[in-house]
Chain A
Amino acid sequence: MRLVVEGLACRRGARLLFEGLGFNLESGRALIVTGPNGTGKSSLLRILAGLSEPAAGRLRLEGAAEPEDFAEGIHYLGHLDAHKAALSAEENLSFWRAMLGRPALTVGEAMEEVGLGGLGGLPVAVLSAGQKRRLALARLLVAERPLWLLDEPTTALDVAAQARFAALARAHVEKGGMIVAATHAPLDLGPSDALDLGARRPASPIAAVVA
């Protein structure tokens, strides 16, 4: 499988965030997107997820059933955790497991993996910010998706949880998965490329994906 992005441009209001962005992401590799605030990291991920329309450019997932419309092959983890505070951690996770389809780990296994074992019965309202983030990461594990789009995945996580998450992400990449992660923290996600959106302000639209 291969994610191919060609000539992508993103406009927010009157401001052009980036243009002429192109890269290929092969199976078994991760792409780390960095850059100062407001350079379009989140916008890029939303475009890749099909949640917003690019101002220009095309993207496709070669090897997917529908290369042009591949939202079903994506796990999208944005700033928001997509939990319901009134439901328990377990109820939230089993809801997403049923919704997402193509099940992978069971709810219990996924909770163990992210270090939330034994907390499943608690309502999400009483979990800490870091625990909520862990629960959101557990969503990635309960359903099978080749491409993970992660927006600041390690926000609010402690050092041990960050390492644990990095290990889970590396395992996904090793199995032939793909990850595009926007981050400020240094993340070791296995064999990866880097994309610095800060260096790609529209004034200097040079194609540059540093290997």
Chain B
Amino acid sequence: MSRAFLALLQRDLRLAIRAGGGAGLGVVFFLAVVVVTPFAIGPDLALLARIGPAILWIGALLASLIGLDRLFAADAEDGSLDVMSMLELPLELIAAAKGLAHWIATGLPLVIAAPVLSLLLNLQPASIGALTLTLLVGTPAITFLGLIGAAFAAAFRRGGLLVAVLVMPLTIPVLIFAVAATGTALGGTVPFGTPFRILAGLSLAAMVLGPIAAAAALRATRD
């Protein structure tokens, strides 16, 4: 069973890297958002340092949603999903493997790019550290919550925007606690650990509930 899980993980990673896979697309989008922001806000370094973490997080949130609409839809269109739903490996773990592959291909590059892009927004070293840590813990939550929208997009076919509309409200708690945790690095009465632990909890819950909900959606919508 773990062999099948790893095989699926490997295939999805390979597809993401190959031409047309779109693994780098998220980082490019992230870069675009972060580079454009200082031009819009102006050369106020203090202001940039204060709102920088929020901008980086919004960029990462939107970049994480890229490609989610095709996650199950591509497998549904070429018949792979039919074969996959008849395996010993339950659909929940198939969804989890696809989610993990998607996070490694799109979420992890965002985490790695974030410290570099933080420099463009005049973030302090402490803020950069806090931000990178919250992205590392928080982006899996977005991807795994996104699995639910991805499963519906497979059923409704052309569901590109649908994923964002369905998933965005679910990710708001993640955004709130991630930005709050990053903000504590700039001072304040709340220690970093308090919002960060809630963020970690949200992430763990999403990793369990996302694949289960996605599998239920795939089962309910197949004809």
Contact = CB atoms under 8 A, between A and B. Distances in A.
B18 A87 contact: yes
Interface residues of B, number: 28
Nearest to A49: B86
B179 to A, nearest CB: 37
B78 A87 contact: no
A78 interface: yes
A79 B79 contact: yes
Interface in B1-39: 1, 3-4, 6-8, 10-11, 14-15, 18-21
A49 B81 CA distance: 13
A86 interface: yes
Interface string A97-124: 0111100000000000000000000000
B4 A78 contact: no
A81 interface: yes
Which of A76, A84, A96, A99 has the most C-beta atoms of chain B within 10 angstroms of its own C-beta? A99
Task: Provide the main secondary structure of the chain A interface.
Answer: loop
A51 B222 contact: yes
Interface string A71-90: 11010101111111011000
B84 A84 contact: no
A57 interface: no
A100 B87 contact: yes
A91 interface: yes
Contacts of B86: 49-51, 71-72, 74, 76
A79 B83 CA distance: 12
Contacts of B80: 82, 84
Contact of B7 (A49, A72, A95): A95
B221 to A, nearest CB: 12
Given A84-B15, A86-B19, A98 B85 contact: no
A75 to B, nearest CB: 9
A80 B200 CA distance: 41
B87 to A, nearest CB: 6
A130 to B, nearest CB: 17
B82 A76 contact: yes
B82 A87 contact: no
Nearest to B79: A80
Given A84-B11, A91-B14, A99 B82 contact: no
Contacts of A79: 79
A80 B82 contact: yes
Interface string B85-104: 11111000000000000000
A95 B7 CA distance: 6
Contact of A99 (B7, B15, B18): B7
Nearest to A99: B4
Interface of A: 49-52, 71-72, 74, 76, 78-84, 86-87, 91, 95-96, 98-101, 139
19 contacts: A49-B86, A51-B82, A51-B85, A51-B86, A51-B222, A71-B87, A72-B88, A80-B79, A84-B15, A86-B18, A86-B20, A87-B11, A91-B11, A98-B6, A99-B7, A99-B83, A99-B84, A100-B4, A101-B87
